[in-house]
């Protein structure tokens, strides 16, 4: 089931990013001990009560002059209309109600989506009287909050999650492999869908951002059922969206959350750019099986070393996804398109693989015998046993005498041994370290 999306909308300098960081909590501050992980602070996951959802910060837009404020907030409002299930409309309690707030409200009226009004910078109880002017915006009760102190956030989130969709009608049988195609605009995702399907079932255009929404296509071949989700990028709307291309990553969020396998599509002609890492990084952090698809390989000038050099470039730039296989294809000429679905089947199987505890512990014992755990200040890590606790992705709990003695390098060594012993090609593998007798 895909996660609901919450967008924080408001004029500049009302504190959207501060609240976003509070809602994102520790997740946004986590630094994975692997080089190459690129994080974009514009989105994150959030949990409240029993709900998990994606949150979007529409802040951080550079305002060059007063004349541009209205056009910029229109971009934010339109973005919220397209993407969000629930909108947090944030205003500034210290500044009070402004004409720009009213302009944003006029746009949000058209969304037909739930809008929760948050009055920020209400830093003490005496300031609560400042919220009453905001009833005039017509969104019901304003919720007083303080980004500086963190007060009122709970009540705000209670109001937000109350609006979440209760049912997910986009459901398929367990045997169906859900495949999301992600990548920046104009790398050929729609053309790849057509090439895989063997017919023109998705509109293809040379104009970047033609596909407005994710399009699900159900099909079967060789007794296997699939759903292809084309998540092509932003709508083309003059130069407005050219300056906010980073938002295109958000188009893929729901599809990634609701997929089994992610095809990270890279333009072979243009090469790798920073946005490719942002997009791939979300699939990695979501724990999805992934395959790099280098498209447009037919128009790349190449010699006998070009493919090897491109592979090395991918491995260097995406060091956090060394597990993901790489395919070089051309949607236009259908070169190697026939290799995609068999590889999808392989990585989907690895993603859902379960290893028996006895065999796993044999592998761990052999790994320890070859390379014993290091000691720290006279204390040595002792690994008691390991067991698999989840699939999609595979997660292994390793029980030890003291989790603090587990160095990241030894944890990575164990992960590599597990990968080498089982066919976990294409899927992230996670290890959680627990003290013996602790519950999972």
Question: Which residues line the annotated binding site for GTP?
Answer: 10-17, 57-61, 120-123, 183-190, 230-234, 295-298
Neighbouring-strand partners of residue 379: 376
How far, in Å, CA of 100 to CA of 158, rounded? 27
Count the alpha carbons within 13 Å of 116 in the hemisphere toward its beta carbon.
Answer: 24
How far, in Å, CA of 61 to CA of 184, rounded? 20
CA–CA distances in Å: residue 196 to residues 18, 51, 52, 186, 199? 44, 35, 33, 17, 8
Helices (H), 206-356: 253-257, 274-285, 306-317, 340-351
Reduced to 3 DSSP states, what percent helix, strand and coil does the chain have, rounded to the nearest 5? Answer: 40, 20, 40
Neighbouring-strand partners of residue 354: none
CB proximity list for 419: less than 8 A, separation 6 or greater: 323, 429
215 φ, ψ (degrees, to nearest 5): -120, 120
With 0-12 / 13-18 / 19 or more C-beta atoms within 10 angstroms meaning exposed / middle / buried, residue 112 is exposed
- DSSP label at residue 68: G
The neighbour count for residue 148, using CB atoms within 10 Å, is: 13
CA–CA distances in Å: residue 390 to residues 281, 368, 393, 394? 21, 23, 7, 5
Residue list for the binding site: 10-17, 57-61, 120-123, 183-190, 230-234, 295-298
Which residue shows structure tokens 């109880």?
125
How far, in Å, CA of 234 to CA of 251, rounded? 8
Token couple for 408: 């990241």
């Amino acid at each position: 089931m895909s996660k609901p999306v919450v967008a924080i909308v408001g004029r500049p300098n009302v504190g959207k990013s501060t609240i976003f960081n509070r809602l994102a909590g520790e997740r946004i501050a986590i630094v994975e001990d692997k080089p190459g992980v690129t994080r974009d602070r514009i989105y994150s996951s959030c949990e409240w009560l029993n709900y998990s959802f994606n949150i979007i910060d529409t802040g951080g837009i550079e305002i060059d002059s007063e004349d541009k404020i209205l056009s910029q907030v229109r971009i934010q409002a339109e973005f919220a209309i397209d993407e969000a299930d629930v909108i947090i409309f944030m205003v500034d309690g210290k500044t009070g109600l402004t004409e720009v707030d009213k302009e944003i409200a006029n746009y949000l009226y058209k969304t037909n989506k739930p809008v929760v009004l948050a009055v920020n910078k209400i830093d003490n109880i005496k300031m609560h009287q400042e919220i009453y002017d905001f009833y005039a915006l017509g969104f019901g009760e304003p919720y007083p909050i303080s980004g500086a102190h963190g007060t009122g956030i709970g009540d705000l989130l209670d109001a937000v999650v109350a609006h979440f969709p209760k049912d997910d009608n986009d459901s398929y049988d367990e045997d169906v492999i859900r495949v999301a195609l992600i990548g920046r605009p104009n790398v050929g995702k729609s053309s790849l869908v057509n090439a895989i399907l063997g017919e023109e079932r998705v509109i293809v255009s040379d104009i970047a951002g033609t596909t407005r929404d994710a399009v699900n296509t159900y099909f079967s071949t060789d007794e296997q059922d699939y759903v292809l989700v084309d998540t092509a990028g932003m709508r083309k709307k003059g130069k407005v969206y050219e300056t906010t291309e980073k938002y295109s990553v958000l188009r893929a969020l729901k599809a990634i959350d609701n997929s089994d396998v992610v095809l990270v599509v890279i333009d072979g002609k243009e090469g790798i750019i920073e946005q490719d890492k942002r997009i791939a990084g979300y699939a990695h952090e979501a724990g999805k099986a992934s395959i790099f698809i280098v498209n447009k390989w037919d128009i790349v000038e190449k010699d006998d070393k070009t493919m090897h050099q491109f592979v090395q470039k991918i491995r260097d730039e995406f060091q956090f996804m060394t597990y993901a296989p790489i395919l070089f294809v051309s949607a236009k000429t259908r070169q190697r398109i026939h290799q995609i679905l068999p590889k999808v089947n392989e990585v989907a199987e690895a993603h859902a693989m379960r290893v028996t505890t006895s065999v796993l512990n044999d592998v761990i014992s052999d790994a320890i015998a070859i390379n014993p755990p290091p000691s720290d200040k006279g204390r040595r890590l002792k690994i008691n046993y390991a067991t698999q606790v989840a699939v999609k992705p595979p997660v292994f709990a390793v029980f030890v005498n003291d989790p603090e003695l587990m160095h990241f390098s030894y944890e990575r060594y164990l992960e590599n041994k597990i990968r080498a012993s089982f066919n976990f090609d294409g899927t992230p593998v996670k290890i959680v370290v627990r003290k013996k007798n602790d519950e999972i």
